[in-house]
Homo-oligomer: A and B are copies of this chain.
């Protein structure tokens, strides 16, 4: 009886998750990748249930924040029973597009492009790395982590014949806007921009994530200088 009740509840939640997909607030969406990371870690350690208070301690956020965030999906938690880790992980994966079969290309096969392609970041999130593109003749025709480096002139043909959703830009700053416009014209919608240029596009379907590592370094420098100033005052 107890089991049946639970099953019913999960069905209801499932419906509300997809029905209200677009109603999840942007602030919660921003936090979902982190939940996804922690839940994935729990799964790898064969943890199937977790309470909001334990998750709270692991993630260093309040249990009430966790309940609030996860209740956006209709709430998977049950008092004294905890969250079903696999269920929550799968739902968040779906919502984030982990199982959407996205493919990515990397434009710019310099140090950063190569470092990104070598990381496990893409595969772990269900994103296939398809190819790198560059103009350097000493790189074109070689591979990095089994991913081919193609000449940028092959880009149009490649995108027309392959299923590419995301372009990772690691070009020099000056070349970034042109690269973005070119891939948008080819129908790619996701731009992950590591060039130092801050990219924007009037294209209604374009999704652009600008990464500015330098901004993060500045924030760190600020905090270090603030704390040492405080320390000197003492």
**Which A residues lie at the B interface, using CB under 8 A?**
21-22, 29-30, 32-34, 36-37, 60, 95-98, 100, 102, 110-112, 114-116, 118-119, 121-122, 124-125, 127, 165-166, 189-190, 192, 198, 200, 205, 207, 209, 211-231
Contacts and interface: CB of A to CB of B under 8 A. Distances in A.
A21 B232 CA distance: 15
A115 to B, nearest CB: 4
Nearest to A121: B214
Can you tell how many copies of this chain the complex includes? Answer: 2
A117 to B, nearest CB: 9
Per DSSP, are chain A's interface residues mostly helix, strand or loop, or mixed? helix
A214 B124 contact: yes
Nearest to A114: B111
Nearest to A31: B215
Contacts of A222: 29, 32, 95-97
A216 B211 contact: yes
Contact of A189 (B213, B216, B224): B224
Contacts of A165: 224
B220 A209 contact: yes
A181 B207 CA distance: 38
A37 B124 CA distance: 33
Between A60, A220, A225, A230, the greatest number of chain B beta carbons within 10 A of the residue's beta carbon is seen for A220
Contacts of A127: 217, 221
B22 A219 contact: no
B112 A212 contact: no
Contacts of A189: 224, 227-228
